[in-house]
Amino acid sequence: MGIGPWIAIVLRLVLPPIFIYKNKFWGVVACAVLDALDVIIVSALGLGDFTDGNYHNVDKVLDLYYLSIAFLTVFSWKNLLARRMAIGLFAWRLVGVIIFEISHIRPLLLVFPNLFEHFYLYFLGYIYFYKKEPFTKLQIRKAVWILLVLLLLKLPQEYLLHYAQAQPWVWTQRYILKTIP
């Protein structure tokens, strides 16, 4: 592994606490973008790559790292229903990742999707853009519907990345950056 992957790893370790504590919503957006583009950035730098095959495990740990920082900010939310939902979603995904790492059964990641991140971004994004909360603590039915819509949007991504093992960064490297044949 060259210096490029180490740059990506250091960025993914240093930036989340700075970004997320400065601005909860935009900080997690920035961390999610960095997560999505880290392999592409390393390829564009031309300073090594993640070909040793271990980056998948490192990526999972780095994902949990920035999501854990986001998770800690949930405890400051005033909306008790949203806070409880976010805590439950984070715990559900964490259990799923642990079971997956022990068993290596890929379909488990479809049963334990990362809805925490999507719910977190939806809730704080709604507040950011509309200056009000998307639901109150008494609107449980509305909150559940929102969660179901987020699940329907998330499951195809979970399927493609974790079950079908699609690698969109390879397409980007091959056809846009032209860094691999």
pLDDT at site 166 = 61
Give the number of domains in the chain: 1
Q: What gap in Å lies between CA 92 and CA 132, rounded to an integer? A: 27
Q: What gap in Å lies between CA 175 and CA 131, rounded to an integer? A: 41
- The answer to whether residues 107 and 155 touch, using CB atoms and an 8 Å cutoff, is no
Q: What gap in Å lies between CA 75 and CA 85, rounded to an integer? A: 11
Q: What gap in Å lies between CA 72 and CA 113, rounded to an integer? A: 19
pTM: 0.83
pLDDT, averaged in runs of 10, over the chain (181 residues) = 81 95 96 87 72 70 94 96 96 92 87 94 97 87 93 86 64 57 61
The domain of 130 spans 3-177
Amino acid at 68: S
Q: Cα torsion at 101, 38, 54, 63 (round to 10°)?
A: -20
Q: Give me the helix-helix angle, 24-45 and 55-74, nearest 10°.
A: 160
